[in-house]
A and B are shown apart, each in its own frame.
Chain A
Amino acid sequence: MANPYVIHPATIVEKIQEAEDINTYRLQLVDEEARRQFRFKAGQFNMVYLFGVGEVAISIVSDPDGPEVLDHTIRTVGRVTKAIADLQPGETLGIRGPFGEGWPLEEAKGRHVVIVTGGLGCAPVVGAIEYIFRRRAQYGSIKILHGVKTPHDLLYRERFDHWRRAPDTEVLLTSDQPDKTWSYHIGVVTELFEHVTNDPAKSIVLMCGPEIMMRLGVPILLRQGIPATAVYVSLERHMECGIGLCGHCQMGPYFLCKDGPVMRYDRVERWLGRTGV
Chain B
Amino acid sequence: MVTASETNAVLPTADLQRLLDALSAKGYRVIGPMVREGSVVWETIRRVPDLPIGRRDQQEPGRYRVEQTGSSEIFGVVHGPQSLKPFVFAPREPLLQIERSKDGFTTSPILPEPDKVAIIGARACDLAGLAIQDRIFLNDTYRDPYYAARREGLFVIAVNCTRSLQTCFCASMDTGPRAKTGFDLALTEVDDRFLIEAGSEAGRDLLSGLSLPPASEDLAGEATRRIEACARNQVRQLDCSRLPHALYEAHEHPRWDEVAGRCLACTNCTMVCPTCFCHTVEETPDLSHQHSAHPRLWDSCFTQQHGYIHGKNIRPTIKDRYRMWLTHKLASWIDQFGTSGCVGCGRCITWCPVGIDLTEELPALLAPGVQPSIASQQMDNA
Binding site for B on A (CB under 8 A): 1, 3-7, 9, 11, 30, 51-55, 75, 77-78, 91-94, 236-238, 240-241, 243-248, 250, 252-253, 255, 258, 270, 274-277
Encoded as 1 (CB less than 8 Å from any A CB) or 0, chain B from 287 to 306 comes to 00100101010010100011
Residue from A4, A255, A276 within 8 A of B324 (CB atoms): A276
- Are B141's CB and A244's CB within 8 A? yes
> Of all chain B residues, which has the CB nearest A92?
B104
* Known A243-B142, A255-B336; contact A9-B281, beta-carbon cutoff 8 A: no
Bound form: Cα–Cα A246–B306 in Å: 10
B291-332 contacts to A (CB < 8 Å): 292, 294, 296, 299, 301, 305-311, 314-315, 317, 319-321, 323-324, 328, 332
Q: Is the interface of B mostly helix, strand, loop or mixed?
A: mixed
Q: Is the interface of A mostly helix, strand, loop or mixed?
A: loop
- Are A240's CB and B289's CB within 8 A? no
Q: Which of B18-26, B92-100, B168-176, B213-221 contacts A (4 or more CB under 8 A)?
A: B92-100
Shortest distance between the CB of B271 and any CB in chain A (Å) = 14
- Are B248's CB and A245's CB within 8 A? no
Q: How many residues of B contact A (CB 8 A)?
A: 54
Which residues on A sit within 8 Å (CB–CB) of B309?
236-238
* Known A30-B104, A238-B306, A247-B278; contact A7-B323, beta-carbon cutoff 8 A: no
Residue from A92, A258, A276 within 8 A of B319 (CB atoms): A276
Residue from A52, A78, A275, A277 within 8 A of B283 (CB atoms): A52
Bound form: Cα–Cα A6–B97 in Å: 10
* Known A52-B283, A52-B289, A276-B323; contact A7-B142, beta-carbon cutoff 8 A: no
> Of all chain A residues, which has the CB nearest B144?
A245
Bound form: Cα–Cα A237–B315 in Å: 12
A selection of 9 A-B contacts at a CB cut-off of 8 Å is A9-B106, A77-B310, A92-B103, A236-B309, A246-B278, A248-B280, A252-B335, A253-B332, A270-B248
Which residues on B sit within 8 Å (CB–CB) of A244?
140-142
Encoded as 1 (CB less than 8 Å from any A CB) or 0, chain B from 158 to 177 comes to 00000000000000000000
Q: A30-B103, A245-B136, A276-B321 are in contact. List 4 more A-B contacts (CB 8 A).
A: A7-B105, A244-B141, A276-B323, A277-B251
Instruction: Tell me whether B12 is interfacial, beta carbon within 8 Å.
Output: no
Binding site for A on B (CB under 8 A): 95-96, 98, 100, 103-107, 109, 136-137, 140-145, 244, 248, 251, 277-283, 285, 289, 292, 294, 296, 299, 301, 305-311, 314-315, 317, 319-321, 323-324, 328, 332, 335-336
Shortest distance between the CB of B220 and any CB in chain A (Å) = 41
Which residues on A sit within 8 Å (CB–CB) of B320?
275-276
* Known A52-B289, A53-B283; contact A77-B248, beta-carbon cutoff 8 A: no
Shortest distance between the CB of B7 and any CB in chain A (Å) = 34
Bound form: Cα–Cα A253–B336 in Å: 6
Interface-centre pick from A55, A237, A277 (highest chain B CB count, 10 A): A277
Which residues on A sit within 8 Å (CB–CB) of B140?
244-245
Ranked 4 nearest A-B pairs via Cβ: A92-B104, A276-B320, A247-B278, A253-B335
Residue from B105, B281, B292 within 8 A of A241 (CB atoms): B281
Which residues on A sit within 8 Å (CB–CB) of B277?
245, 247
Interface-centre pick from A11, A30, A52 (highest chain B CB count, 10 A): A52
